[in-house]
Structures are given as C-alpha cells and as structure tokens.
Copies of this chain bind each other. A is one copy, B any other.
C-alpha cells in the first residue's frame, strides 16, 4: 500500500513531543460515521487523549471503530452519562441529535466538542443557547476552518497588525465535487452547510460581527440542486460596523480540486492564503509550466488541530473557542443570508 501523506499531516506529528506520562483525556464519542471515524482516529492519535466509549445507533459500526481505535461500545447513551471515567464528549452523530446530546452532556457536566451545526433549526439552537448558564461545562463548536494552518496563522498575523486596519475580506470556497444527493438533501442547503464555515471565519478574522448582508445564488452545476430548492453557487457581501466589506463566494464543485482561499486586505497590505498543490513539483514542457492541481480534500488535518485546541483549552482552563455562542452567531448569519437570498434584499443583523 503506497503512502500518500501530505506535508501537512507531517506537521501534526510535532504535537507529539509532549511529556509521556500525562493523564490522557478520556472521550465518549457519539457517531461512528464519516466525521466520527476521523475524530476517533485523531483522539486515538492524540498524545494526551484516548477513547473511552463510542456510541452509534448502528452498533456494528461503533464496534468496528472501537476495535480499531479503542473504547467500549455501550448499549445506550445512558451508560455514558452514568460513567465516571468520561472526561469529555465529542458529538459527531447526525445533526438532529446534537441538541439532545448537548443537553445531556451539560447535565452530566461534561465539556463537549460538537460538530457544526448545532441544529438546522435555528429556533432549537436559540432555545438551547437560552438555556445555557455560566456554570455549564464548556461547549466547543467544530468550525474547523479556524484551525486550518494558513487561516490560523492569518488570523494571528492580522491581530498583530500585518495588514493594518481591515478594509476588505475576500473568501472563495469550492468543494472539489458535488456531494451525493442524499447528503445535499439533509445538509440544510449551501448557505447553512458550507457558507456557515465562513460566516464563522469572517467575523473571527475581522474581529467584528456583520451588521448587514446581501446574498444571491444560482444553480449552475446540476439542476437537481435547484429542484431541491437550493443553489450550488452563491455570493454574499457582509458589511461590518467599521465599514469593512467581506465577499464570500461558495460553490459545490471545482474541476481542479478543493478551492479554499482567503484574502484579508487592510490599510497597510494584504494577507493571502489557502489551497495549494500538495507537492512542490513543477513540470516544464513545450506547452507550459505545470504543477499539481489542488488536492480534493483541503484541510482534513484541521480536524486534528481543532481537537488539539479543544483539549489544550480544557487542560489550561482557558476559554473554549469557537464557543456555543460563536456557533449560534454563525447560524444566525446563515439564516439572514438565506432570508436575503429568498427576498433578494439586503438584510440587517442586530446583535445584543
């Protein structure tokens, strides 16, 4: 079997210089599907974490994953909530189960990493956010773009003044291929499913919350997306209180691989980062100078970096971010964008 590691994967290895006798943080993992499998691997690989339990409604799937990555497979979630050897919870089950599991985790006093979105129904999210109290254990929402190395470096440099006062943010993000219809149907649509990542990323980069946005879209890749009432190509413009403008374009397919690029422009310059060929290998021929296309998956290592950020924040007792509030905020922006696209009008956003 050939090895095809990206350079990126290599970098995570450096995390692994921690003292070897640290007490591992023991996770209960909900969900043994695609995201759950990645999280299971990352927990098992993390030098200061391990899997205690894996639950999935498909018990066989949970068992296969536990065989590979460790952990027990309880008959019901209840066993997990009653267990005294669970340090943290990771929710990677289907979106409609998130709020219930979050509620139970809060009751059980467990710090929780929850995949985005909290729920497709913003009302359910609001209800849960309203219930939350300052004494709750921390909740981390898995907006992992923040942990993509280019973007975390970018945000840090922006904070350090690398571009001066921000005037513009430009974001382009395109999947490499149209996802399966089954996925698209339950995704909540392009804005709730994909653009929401950038509704989290942009305010985080800008250190402001948008007060107005306009969004528009088209169905260009496959008419079946339109038949679902969704778009596969969309642009949103966000306006921030400072006057800075942010343009986000999202699409469901790019022939040349996963395209995820951000530019932050300010009075003193610009930072530009994102997708790149996985190898620095260039071919010169009579017809041109060619390097490899973008990889189909960009930022898969961000799952691992996000997990590490969660673990490190819990260990240090510091603030967990992206927080539940951040997750709610991104979803509010997504709902506003959907409303703007529906009405073809700019929509105002008010923040308490």
- Seen from chain A, the residues whose Cβ lies within 8 Å of a Cβ on chain B are 1-16, 18, 20-24, 26, 41-42, 44-45, 47-48, 50-51, 64, 67-70, 149-150, 153-154, 157, 162-165, 167-168, 170, 172, 174, 214, 216-221, 233, 235, 237, 239, 242-245, 247, 249, 251, 254-256, 259, 263, 265, 267-294, 300-301, 304-305, 308-309, 312, 344-346
A300 to B10, CA, bound (A): 8
Nearest 3 CB-CB pairings of A with B? A276-B280, A218-B243, A273-B281
Residues of chain B within 8 A of A239, CB atoms compared:
216, 218
- A172 contacts across to B, CB distance below 8 A: 170, 263
CB-CB under 8 A for A291 and B289, given A10-B42, A10-B300: yes
- On whether A255 and B20 interact (CB within 8 A), knowing A7-B44, A15-B3, the answer reads no
Are A153 and B279 neighbours in the complex by a CB distance under 8 Å? yes
Q: How far is the CA of A26 from the CA of B5 in the complex (A)?
A: 14
Chain B residues whose C-beta falls within 8 Å of the C-beta of A69 in the assembled complex = 7
Residues of B within 8 A of A267 (CB): 220-221, 255
Identify A272's interface contact among B170, B281, B300, B309, CB under 8 A.
Answer: B281
Q: In the complex, which residues of chain B have a beta carbon less than 8 angstroms from the beta carbon of A7?
A: 44-45, 50, 69-70, 149, 276, 278, 301
Cα(A165)–Cα(B222), bound, Å: 13
Whether A308 touches B3, Cβ cut-off 8 Å, given contacts A8-B44, A9-B10, is yes
Partner of A286, one of B51, B157, B256: B256
Query: B4 near A9 (CB under 8 angstroms)?
Result: no
Q: Which residue of B lies closest to A253 (CB)?
A: B267
A44's nearest neighbour on chain B, judged by CB, is B7
Which of B22, B67, B288, B344 meets A292, CB within 8 Å? B288
Is A288 a contact of B290 with CB atoms below 8 Å? yes
When C-beta atoms are compared, the residue in chain B nearest to A167 turns out to be: B220
Chain B proximity of A242: nearest CB distance (Å): 8
Give the Cβ gap from A88 to chain B, nearest Cβ, in Å: 14
Known: A167-B218, A288-B290. 13 other contacts (CB 8 A): A3-B15, A3-B24, A3-B305, A4-B50, A10-B304, A150-B280, A170-B172, A214-B216, A254-B270, A256-B286, A270-B283, A275-B280, A284-B294
Residues in chain B near residue A292, CB distance under 8 A: 288-289
If A3-B305, A7-B301, A14-B4 touch, whether A244 touches B218 (CB-CB below 8 Å) is: yes
List, in ascending order, chain B residues with CB within 8 A of A51's CB: 4
